[in-house]
Chains A and B, each alone.
Chain A
Amino acid sequence: MYLNILKRDLKRKKTMNVILLIFVMLSAMFMASSVNNIIAVTSGLDFFFEKAGMSDFFVIEMSTEDTGLQKAVKELDSVSDCRKEPLLLGNSSDIAFDEEKKATAGNSPLYCSVDDAQLNIFNQKNEVIKEVEKGTVYVTSSFASSNNVEIGDKLTVTVGESKVELKYMGKAKDAFLGSNFLGNCRFIMNDEDFQHLNKDESAKERSGNIYYIDTTDVSAVKATIGEFKGVTLNETAATMKNTYLLDMIVAALLLVVGVFLIIVSFVVLKHTIGFTIAEEFREIGVMKAIGMKNSSIRILYLIKYFAITVIGSALGFVLSVPFSYMMLKSVSESMYLESENSIIVGLLGTLLVVGLTMFFCWNSTSKIKKLTPIDAVRNGQTGERFRKKSLMHLSKSKLSSTTFLAANDIVSAPKKYSVITAVFAILIMLVMVLANTANTLKSENTLTLIGCIASDAYILSEPKSMEEIEEILAENDMPGTVREEKVYSFGAIIGDEKTTLSFQHSADTNAADYVYGEGVAPENENEISISYVTAEEFSIGIGDEITLVVNGEEMICMVTALHQTMNMMGKVNRLHQDFDVSSFESTSSLGYQIDFDEELTNDELNERIEILRGIFGEEDVKNSVEMARDTLGAAETMEAVKNLTLVIVLFIVVLVAVLMERSFISSEKAEIAILKAIGFSNKSIIWHHTLRFAMVALIASLVAAALCLPATHLAIDPIFEMMGAVSGVGYEIVPLEIFLIYPAILVAVTIISAFFTSIYTNTIKSSDASNIE
């Protein structure tokens, strides 16, 4: 009997059952693939680092001579090994395809010889690159994605007068410098090619070493290396893992989408079960009247949902395999993952969906307990089953009859419509949050997060001095000021602890021009601002003193302010402009910033930037938005995630609208018939039904737009915090997108879905009014 009832039900509510099946399938697919991805990436990171032979601590020191850093570190009791690998720091503008087209290689690329490699670097087949033939090169994955380079392409790498032609052999999986977030590419080449580049006189200024240090006491190493002035980078393995955060974000966002889909599935299931039970009150009453137990009746309904859940989950699991592979593809290009697709993990995720769905179904069918045999013999529509409904009054309203009916339906059944409103609001808010994040990452706001002041233009290459650039500007009738943000690394003594701190400094700007979270900007040369991350790491704050060791001389500086920065994972501090330090001591530069003397319109500014591009190279000149976007490098990833989420969200909106409208039509069959009988045309009925959804979508959009900023803070602040922006980010809200484009998309998609579904009302005839139960 159960099977017959089930078959009848599946046939009768075909559309609703198919949509439920799709929901369960999508939930299982997202859950299985996202859990799989998260585990693959998180456990994969440990696996990758282990396979690569990563150490506990890393140092990059720029110096041609042996400064004794390796010896000093090795002498520490806590250090078991310190391996050294020579490097040559290149210049992005000195890499070209076929000697013509300039390549983009982010910040200064690192050239290394395969013979000196102290880490296991892997090719795309996960084999250790032990040998690189002369005239060939492997490069970390960010280079390939920024240049669309194909295996076999010819690259010309120049250092001063030395030049090598290298055939691109593929992407290298480099645990130390492979993250897209770092912005540094590593070129692994044959030793002969490496030595050839080193022959040039200018190479001496650009040579250095990477030290891989195995230690149990990072603080002791930091204290020791503080005495070496050429140190440009010193980081722990844990921090290096954080640089893979962006790869994790994509997987995490998909997990969020998966979890959300499950929530939506539950809401939809609850609605559908509730609706089915309400609709079948008579059948349930009769079943009770003939002596069936509550549990037996509930099982009857659960069998159907179990069948849908099992079939949907199985399909979702099958689909999760290629989906998971697609999602992991970009990650596996830069990481050696232990298992790129774990069947067991996916299966567990799928079983979780089945379990949760069935638990939810069991709870939702509890309404059956409330129905009595009396319900079976009651007509229902005019009886006690209905509560007070009418809230608006047509006699007092100025709305047209159809608009009134739509609005009145919503206010008369707030619970029913608030569920749809909440689902739509959360869905579109998800897109808005990602849009705010993507827009922030490519806005000028980001410049403050990397410790820059917005300027008219930026030059990233270092072909000339500041004075020479100013002369070029004057010669081209566009006079302006040039300044440079440089990063320095000094030994520091904080209390009794010795360490190394990084500082940002520009002699040509005023420290007061930068943004600080607490305290006042440094006003004297012995005043500094420290980042929140530094303050927390060393438990220091405003008013504390730090002794800096600059060229062997100690200088006591007072902390006057705290700031946040995403530079070097939040660890860059700021010096006063009058701080006495030679720019030759700097470890890196954020590029030249140009501010033209005249006030310019956007068009004039763009025109000048084009002129600068003609002089300094297409890729090396940026406006402030491009500078912000390229510095963090996450804007495009976030944009892609946002677009993918938008597509998924709209798909869910379509499913929810179709499912809900179909269930409304089913439950309102009598009302539709009576409206037709009293003279409402098919067009009016379709408009009435469509308008309800349009109103709901509009309300959802307004709610989402109002809440999207706090939601963005709630969801995204922790991610920025992990990258160093600990005191919150001023998000870039683009009103056109938040208040017009996304609401319009939501409303349009909802209207289209509801409209096409409501055409089904044409099948209900006015004469059906005679068969009302």
Chain B
Amino acid sequence: MNTVLNVKDLCKTYITNKRQNNVLKNVNFKVNEGEMVAIMGPSGSGKSTLLYTVSGMDRMTAGEVEFCGKNIEKLNDNDLAKLRLDDMGFIFQQMYMLKNLTVLDNIILPAVKSTKTKESRAEITERALKLMKKLGIEDIANNDINEVSGGQLQRACICRSMINNPAVIFADEPTGALNRTSSDEVMEEISKLNREGTTIMLVTHDAKVAAKCSRVLFIVDGNIKGEYNVDVNATLRDRERALNNWLMEMGF
């Protein structure tokens, strides 16, 4: 399998009030094409920082991140923006969208901006509607974002992240702001995307969410303390139980 993300000796340091805070310390890992990797760890361990640094949303202090063969630390801001637009998808905990646009317009916005394909606006719209149908939200296409539920909105955010057929989708606590039912529905959609071949890297606190992934990286104080390969052939309940046991061993 091809490696889509290769992280070597990644360091991230913040300086706050003249104090140096080493959030990530020589982090090394790889993500292969088609994988679904969860990053877990206690609060303040550097999970989100790791996600944003490897996705080029934040600049690293030292180390190397190779995304689809490109060293992202060598890219300028414009190239990074283009990389995010064409090859990455993002899902956040807060399902934030532009409030002046309808749900459909929010979804097609990255595709309209992108020059990756030469699709017409009608073709983009058609593709977005198909995506929405797939995620069961085709009825809210022309709704304003204040007219839909949190679960529907997060599924719309997944559609937006998928619209440019990215190589990897990065998700930061994608179910963190949802109730259990919505959370299960959203995770089912994300898992389905992964089963269809999309590489996914997500940050979560929730073992039930992480159990749906193929691999779990456990991070403490900016270091990857352990790595757990989920038995994808086991039932979800068994996977969850086994993962919880491992997490307890790791001190979570």
Chain A interface residues (CB < 8 Å from chain B): 379, 381-384, 386-390, 393-398, 400-402, 404-405, 408-409, 412-413, 670-671, 674-684, 765-767, 769-770, 772-773
Is the CB of B165 closer than 8 A to any CB of chain A?
Answer: no
* A770 and B93 within 8 A (CB): yes
Q: Which of B78, B105, B153 contacts A394 (CB 8 A)?
A: B105
Chain B interface residues (CB < 8 Å from chain A): 48, 52, 57-58, 77-78, 81-86, 88, 90, 92-102, 104-105, 108-110, 112-114, 121-122, 124-125, 128, 142, 144-147, 150, 153, 160, 164, 172
* A393 and B78 within 8 A (CB): no
CA distance A678 to B81 in the complex (A): 8
**5 closest residue pairs by CB, A with B:** A679-B85, A681-B81, A394-B105, A412-B100, A767-B52
* A397 and B48 within 8 A (CB): no
CA distance A675 to B113 in the complex (A): 11
* B109 and A769 within 8 A (CB): no
Contacts of A387 in B (CB 8 A): 146
State whether A390 and B102 are in contact (beta carbons under 8 Å apart), knowing that A384-B146, A676-B81, A682-B77 are contacts in the complex.
yes
Contacts of A396 in B (CB 8 A): 121
CA distance A683 to B77 in the complex (A): 10
CA distance A773 to B58 in the complex (A): 19
CA distance A389 to B94 in the complex (A): 20
State whether A683 and B78 are in contact (beta carbons under 8 Å apart), knowing that A395-B104, A674-B97 are contacts in the complex.
yes
CA distance A772 to B48 in the complex (A): 14
Closest residue of chain B to A674 (Cβ to Cβ) is B96
CA distance A396 to B57 in the complex (A): 31
Q: Which of B96, B142, B145, B150 contacts A772 (CB 8 A)?
A: B96
Q: A679 → chain B, closest Cβ, in Å?
A: 2
Contacts of A397 in B (CB 8 A): 121
Contacts of A769 in B (CB 8 A): 57, 90, 92, 96
CA distance A388 to B144 in the complex (A): 6
Contacts of A383 in B (CB 8 A): 146
Give 17 A-B contacts (CB < 8 Å), ordered by A residue: A394-B108, A395-B122, A395-B124, A405-B98, A409-B100, A671-B99, A674-B92, A678-B84, A678-B110, A679-B81, A679-B88, A680-B113, A683-B78, A684-B113, A765-B57, A766-B57, A773-B94
* A389 and B100 within 8 A (CB): yes
Q: Which of A408, A413, A765, A766 contacts B101 (CB 8 A)?
A: A408
Q: Which of B77, B92, B95, B112 contacts A681 (CB 8 A)?
A: B77
Closest residue of chain A to B145 (Cβ to Cβ) is A382
Contacts of B113 in A (CB 8 A): 401-402, 678-680, 684
Contacts of B145 in A (CB 8 A): 382
* A413 and B100 within 8 A (CB): yes
* A679 and B96 within 8 A (CB): no
CA distance A409 to B98 in the complex (A): 10
Closest residue of chain A to B88 (Cβ to Cβ) is A679
* B85 and A389 within 8 A (CB): no
* A670 and B78 within 8 A (CB): no
Excluding A386-B99, A389-B99, A676-B57, 18 further A-B contacts by CB distance (< 8 Å) are A382-B145, A389-B101, A389-B144, A390-B100, A395-B121, A395-B125, A401-B112, A671-B96, A671-B98, A674-B96, A676-B84, A677-B92, A678-B110, A679-B84, A679-B164, A680-B85, A684-B113, A766-B57
Q: A610 → chain B, closest Cβ, in Å?
A: 60
Contacts of A773 in B (CB 8 A): 94
* B104 and A401 within 8 A (CB): no
CA distance A412 to B113 in the complex (A): 20
* A681 and B82 within 8 A (CB): yes
Contacts of B102 in A (CB 8 A): 390, 393
Q: A542 → chain B, closest Cβ, in Å?
A: 63
* B98 and A677 within 8 A (CB): no
CA distance A398 to B94 in the complex (A): 30
* B105 and A772 within 8 A (CB): no
Q: A438 → chain B, closest Cβ, in Å?
A: 43
* B100 and A408 within 8 A (CB): yes
State whether A678 and B109 are in contact (beta carbons under 8 Å apart), knowing that A388-B144, A389-B100, A767-B58 are contacts in the complex.
yes
Closest residue of chain A to B146 (Cβ to Cβ) is A386
Q: Which of B84, B98, B124 contacts A766 (CB 8 A)?
A: B84
* B92 and A678 within 8 A (CB): no
State whether A679 and B82 are in contact (beta carbons under 8 Å apart), knowing that A389-B100, A765-B58 are contacts in the complex.
yes
Q: A91 → chain B, closest Cβ, in Å?
A: 72
Q: B100 → chain A, closest Cβ, in Å?
A: 4
CA distance A386 to B97 in the complex (A): 13
CA distance A398 to B112 in the complex (A): 10
* A679 and B94 within 8 A (CB): no
* A679 and B57 within 8 A (CB): no
Contacts of A381 in B (CB 8 A): 94, 96, 99
Contacts of B96 in A (CB 8 A): 381, 670-671, 674, 769, 772
* B94 and A394 within 8 A (CB): no
Contacts of B86 in A (CB 8 A): 679
CA distance A772 to B128 in the complex (A): 25
* A680 and B144 within 8 A (CB): no
Q: Which of A393, A671, A680 contacts B105 (CB 8 A)?
A: A393
CA distance A400 to B90 in the complex (A): 22
CA distance A766 to B142 in the complex (A): 27
* A678 and B160 within 8 A (CB): yes
Listed residue (A382, A387, A671, A769) with the most chain B CB atoms within 10 angstroms of its CB = A382
Contacts of A681 in B (CB 8 A): 77-78, 81-82
CA distance A397 to B93 in the complex (A): 30
Contacts of B57 in A (CB 8 A): 676-677, 765-767, 769
Q: B151 → chain A, closest Cβ, in Å?
A: 11
CA distance A405 to B78 in the complex (A): 19
Q: B129 → chain A, closest Cβ, in Å?
A: 9
Contacts of B105 in A (CB 8 A): 390, 393-395
Q: Which of A386, A679, A765 contacts B114 (CB 8 A)?
A: A679
Q: B162 → chain A, closest Cβ, in Å?
A: 12
Q: B190 → chain A, closest Cβ, in Å?
A: 17
Contacts of A680 in B (CB 8 A): 81, 85, 113
Contacts of B82 in A (CB 8 A): 679, 681
CA distance A397 to B122 in the complex (A): 10
* B90 and A677 within 8 A (CB): yes
State whether A772 and B77 are in contact (beta carbons under 8 Å apart), knowing that A382-B146, A394-B112 are contacts in the complex.
no
Q: B148 → chain A, closest Cβ, in Å?
A: 8
Q: A138 → chain B, closest Cβ, in Å?
A: 70
Listed residue (A405, A412, A674, A772) with the most chain B CB atoms within 10 angstroms of its CB = A674
Q: A415 → chain B, closest Cβ, in Å?
A: 14
Listed residue (B93, B109, B153) with the most chain A CB atoms within 10 angstroms of its CB = B109
Contacts of A404 in B (CB 8 A): 112
Contacts of A678 in B (CB 8 A): 84-85, 90, 109-110, 113, 160
Contacts of A412 in B (CB 8 A): 100
Contacts of A675 in B (CB 8 A): 98
Contacts of B150 in A (CB 8 A): 382
Closest residue of chain B to A762 (Cβ to Cβ) is B77
